[in-house]
Amino acid sequence: MLQAVYEGSLSDQEAEYQEHETTRDYLWNTAGTAVWGMVFPVLSIVATQLAGAEGAGMFAMAFVTGTLLMIAAGYGVRTHQVSDLDEDASFASYQVNRWLTGIAAFVIGLLYCTLRDYDAAMMAISLGVYVYKVVDGVADVYEGRLQQADKLYLAGISQTIRSGLAIVSFSLLLLVTRDLGVASIAMAVVTVASLVLVTIPLALLETERSAPIRLNEVTALFRQCLPLAAALLLFNLIESMPKFVMEGTLAYENQLYFNALYFPAQAILLTVGFLYKPQLVRLTSIWSNPRRRRRFDLIVVAMLTVVVGISVVAGLFMAWLGIPLMSFLYGLDFERFRLLAYLMVAAGGVTAAIDFLYAIVCVLRRAGDVMKLYLICFAASVVAPLILVNLLGLTGAVASYLGVMTLLLFLLLIEYVKIRRAITRERNPFLSRR
């Protein structure tokens, strides 16, 4: 990086690290995803211990909204980018697209805070978290470039550093100041620094120089990825709707309870992601060869079976050690939420299956076909929590979440089978005549 500064160019420097390091790819991608996935659970525990359940609930609500902003900033481009094997769009165009979506997402966050009329404390927490999550969304395009160049382990290193710094900076500042707003802003500052000093240089130094920016490519990315972006945003809105309903109905401490119960479910989602996301480029290659599509179908079935197995293991762990461990870590009584914990584990397995199936649909370039399913479930996610949260409180929030996710998985499975049959008929017109 210093040599690049001396010579005035990042992209003209020679790469220092090898590509196609499969073991290292898995190890660092797993580390990066694991640390990234630990940020919210660890900081929730820290916030609960140092600022109380109500303050931790406020932080949790800011993180929920921030995650939606991260999804908006990402615009569903990552899967499209890493499966763009022929580089139909230049990396420069991908960057411009991502910076535009990142800026738009942050502006939306500011408007949301204004509309909610947050007080100074909640505003400071929210803005710090929003910066952190939007930077996460922007960094994803650079880490996607490293994956595209078959250097996924470098993307994992970048993600590990950024997420680790977020945990350390937030925890230290909260320990010293006992102020969630100050801790959140500190987290935002170190995250921006990691983007500028680590993530961007790695992507520019360790990949081939990009072709120039082309406006038509930037606009094409907006157009092509709109179905992906809309589906991802709708999916996360569906996931988050019980929390938004709770914010207007229940005390903030319920946000903490809901998210703490969700963390084991998130572990299922992340574990499944560890297994399939590094293989997206390979899955795209398998799909591109019509003779290997039966193997592709077997991989899909095998992965869904693995999701069931992981969910069962997670449920057994929660029944044995999970709930007592949560009570110890948070300093709160989670034994009274044992049934809700089991329901949330089931929801985690369902969500992981949805995440995998959606990625497969993206590989097939048929994301637009599932948009109607997300719209149906979005409508259900608005109605169900409004009724159940008001009737049953936190229990209603968990039940509505599981119910809507199960509906979405059922519809997605049906749609995936229809897509595969349609593709088979297109390849074999004789079948459609029959």
SS3 for 151? Answer: coil
Classify each residue of 356-366 as buried b or exposed e, where b means 16 or more C-beta atoms within 10 Å of its C-beta. Answer: bbbbbbbbbeb
Q: Which of 45, 47, 195, 181 is nearest to 113 (CA)?
A: 181
6 C-beta neighbours (distance < 10 Å), count: 8
pLDDT, tens digit, 9 for 90 and up, residues 221-271: 999 888 778 878 888 899 899 999 998 789 899 999 999 999 899 889 988
> For residue 291, what are the contacts with CB-CB under 8 A and spacing of at least 6?
none
Q: Please give the DSSP secondary-structure letter assigned to residue 210.
A: P
pTM of the predicted protein model: 0.82
Please give the pLDDT value at position 431: 46
Please give the pLDDT value at position 430: 47
Structure tokens at 7: 């010579």
What is the DSSP secondary-structure string of 352-410? Answer: HHHHHHHHHHHHTT-GGGGHHHHHHHHHHHHHHHHHHHHHHTHHHHHHHHHHHHHHHHH
Please give the pLDDT value at position 9: 53
Cα(429)–Cα(166) distance, rounded to whole angstroms? 54
Cα(141)–Cα(137) distance, rounded to whole angstroms? 8
List the pLDDT tens digit at each of the 434 positions of the chain: 445 444 445 555 555 555 556 678 888 888 998 899 899 999 999 999 999 999 999 999 999 999 999 999 999 888 788 877 777 888 999 999 999 999 999 999 999 999 999 999 999 999 999 999 999 999 999 999 998 888 889 999 999 999 999 999 999 999 999 999 999 999 999 999 999 999 999 999 888 887 888 999 999 999 988 877 887 888 889 989 999 999 878 989 999 999 999 989 988 998 898 788 777 778 878 887 777 778 888 888 999 999 999 999 999 999 999 999 999 999 999 999 999 999 999 999 999 999 999 888 878 877 777 888 889 999 999 999 999 999 999 999 999 999 999 999 999 999 988 888 887 776 665 444 44
SS3 content of the chain, % helix, strand, coil (to 5): 85, 0, 15
Please give the pLDDT value at position 330: 93
Cα(305)–Cα(275) distance, rounded to whole angstroms? 13
Structure tokens at 119: 């007080």
SS3 for 88? Answer: coil
Structure tokens at 365: 């370039």
Structure tokens at 315: 């449920």
* First-last CA distance in the chain: 62
Structure tokens at 366: 């048929």
The residue written with tokens 């165009």 in the block is: 93
Cα(341)–Cα(265) distance, rounded to whole angstroms? 9
Which runs of E-coded beta strand occur in 130-226?
A: none
Q: Taking a C-beta distance cutoff of 8 angstroms, is the pair 69, 251 a contact? A: no
> For residue 131, what are the contacts with CB-CB under 8 A and spacing of at least 6?
106, 188, 191, 192
403 C-beta neighbours (distance < 10 Å), count: 18
> For residue 430, what are the contacts with CB-CB under 8 A and spacing of at least 6?
none
Q: Please give the DSSP secondary-structure letter assigned to residue 120.
A: H
Please give the pLDDT value at position 386: 93
Structure tokens at 326: 């949560």
Structure tokens at 401: 């979440």
